[in-house]
Structure 1
């Protein structure tokens, strides 16, 4: 783990796509997570947006986000499949190696784990020729899949090399997930780790959990769950994860502030994260080197 492993997420920053890219680069980030609407909604069109991203010199961590894809059937499934195909084309256009898929919140979705796994594998197969991997994330308010252990169950059952699980610290913390269980996921099956925190110890209702998720997240090191986050990071390190980390921080306050200011806070958080892992690892190594008296 080093600072090159971390990237901004455009959802945190105010301003235009050009402003967000410039702020991220100026803060020292080499990669950035984009939302499909960043590109398709760009005034100059998709091709111009892609050129802007390339000119920034930053690699794209991935594209957000395919919602309510799995567990549907009939016309609903075909509709979502068409949407997914178009999002994969956006990934290919901008060179994004990952398409994020969030667990379904739809009342029309089935909780049949076999169906979920088959549909995720189907999407992963469609993505192979485009050079895009599929990452499946458990939303803490997902209808049937709302714990990372459940999203991993679906990914493991799908057994597709082009499909991995996405771990999001907010959703794990919000649902009091078993952090130590992360050790059980093979590191090569983790597609991405998304990091954020929030300012209070407990979420007192489903409504507060949703409100906090969409408007009031903060960076690691700024919130009330630093100990849990540090433990999660160390679990990932012990498990051998060496992939990307993205700061997915939905925060209305940050979107009203200078993007440069917010991006610098994100970079300080990246240093906090690396310190939690590297400092602890150094302490363990030093302890192991202490001679035991005969």
Structure 2
């Protein structure tokens, strides 16, 4: 099994497309990130994704804030079985698991069980954050997590929220270059990229193999002036592409043209009116519509 997962990591997987003919600007696969619908348990999220027309889900295995819903899939065998059955019944796949957040005093080995559960679910990637100002230490932690994930066929994808100690594309690039691991990746979240004032030109110059998928969203043009405001927008006030002030087209055009797009679009006020299942559906429809209208054909994307 480990050998099979290793081959999956290093090989190019060709996933059959639905029989309907797609414009090449629509040929992306789509995932729904769990933050978009945290009131839904993993099995419920899978069903919502299937009903809306997604290809994947992202599943949150760890609690990120004390007050958010938590689904102990790593320690609840019944919940794990139900989730796997729902995946099998719907054909939805797991794109990623989250969140391996490793601070100065955290041990990457503590995430071993989460990695194993992610692999058991068929996940491909693990979202990781490094809130640590010591570059050598956080790089070593990142390396350790990458090495733990190799036998499981998982990539470790570094995300850089602008309010953390790994706050932008440049700092994340330092970590990946120093780590030099074949399963290391970088997750570009459009909100974090824009809020960190990272450079699209710098993004274009980075190795294509670093980018396995992207978190896609938009956000209000007004940038909050406090950390609390930045976090609030990220967790509750994102918008669908084309509804806000982020250069969605410019950032995505700097990434490989064939990676999946994971929609991380939590909208607390809209969800209170319509429910999160409906928000999941609306997010996919709005994103497809905007990208079909705005993105050039794949042959015209950046390198």
TM-score range, shorter chain: 0.7 to 0.9
Contact 2:242 2:290 in 1 (8 A): yes
Task: State whether structure 2 residue 102 is matched by structure 1 residue 114.
Answer: no
Root-mean-square deviation over aligned CA pairs: 2.5
Does residue 248 in structure 1 map to residue 296 in structure 2? no
Q: What is the rounded CA distance, in whole Å, between the counterparts of 2:41 and 2:80 in structure 1?
A: 14
How far the C-alpha of 1:100 sits from its partner, in A, is: 0.8
SS in 2 for 1:66: strand
Rg (Cα) greater in structure: 1
Q: Which residue of 2 aligns with 1:287?
A: none
Q: CA deviation at 1:252?
A: 1.5
How far off its partner does 1:223 sit? 1.7
Aligned to 2:224, what secondary structure does the other structure show? Answer: coil
Could you say which structure has the higher helix fraction? Answer: 1
Q: Residue 2 and residue 114 in structure 1: after superposition, are their counterparts in 2 closer, same or farther (change >3 A)?
A: farther
Q: CA deviation at 1:267?
A: 1.6
Summarize deviations over 1:23-66 as a string: whole Å, max 9, x none: 21122111111111543487933222222223221111100111
Which stretch of the first structure deviates more once superposed, 33-42 or 111-120? 33-42
Q: Residues 137 and 148 of structure 1 are in contact (CA less than 8 Å); yes or no, is this contact kept in structure 2? A: no
- The secondary structure found in structure 1 opposite 2:181 is coil
What is the CA–CA distance in structure 1 between the aligned matches of 2:216 and 2:209, rounded to whole Å?
19
Does 2:160 correspond to 1:129? no
- Secondary structure class of the residue paired with 2:296: helix
1:139 paired residue number: 161
Question: 1:2–1:274: 8 Å Cα contact kept in structure 2?
Answer: yes
User: For 2:301 and 2:187, how far apart are their aligned partners in 1?
Assistant: 29
Is structure 2 residue 82 aligned with structure 1 residue 48? Answer: yes
Question: 1:84 aligned to 2:111?
Answer: yes
Give the gaps of 5 or more residues in structure 1.
Answer: 285-294
Check 1:123–1:83 CA distance in 2 against 1; reply closer, same or farther (3 A cut). same
Q: How many residues align?
A: 266
Which residue pairs with 1:32 in the alignment? 57
Partner of residue 253 from structure 2, selected from 234, 257, 268 = 234
What displacement does 1:9 show? 1.5
- Offset at 1:270? 2.8
Q: Distance in 2 between matches of 1:115 and 1:241?
A: 33
Q: 1:158 deviation in Å?
A: 0.6
Give the structure-1-normalised TM-score. 0.81
TM, length-normalised to structure 2: 0.79
Instruction: For residue 259 of structure 1, report the CA deviation from its aligned partner.
Output: 3.7
* Residues in 1 aligned to 2:212 and 2:290: alpha-carbon distance in whole angstroms: 22
d(CA) in 1 for partners of 2:301 and 2:134? 45
In the alignment, the residues of structure 2 paired with residue 242 and residue 283 of structure 1 have an alpha-carbon distance, to the nearest angstrom, of 10
Distance change in 2, residues 1:151/1:241 (3 Å): farther
Task: Report the secondary structure of 2:78's partner residue.
Answer: coil
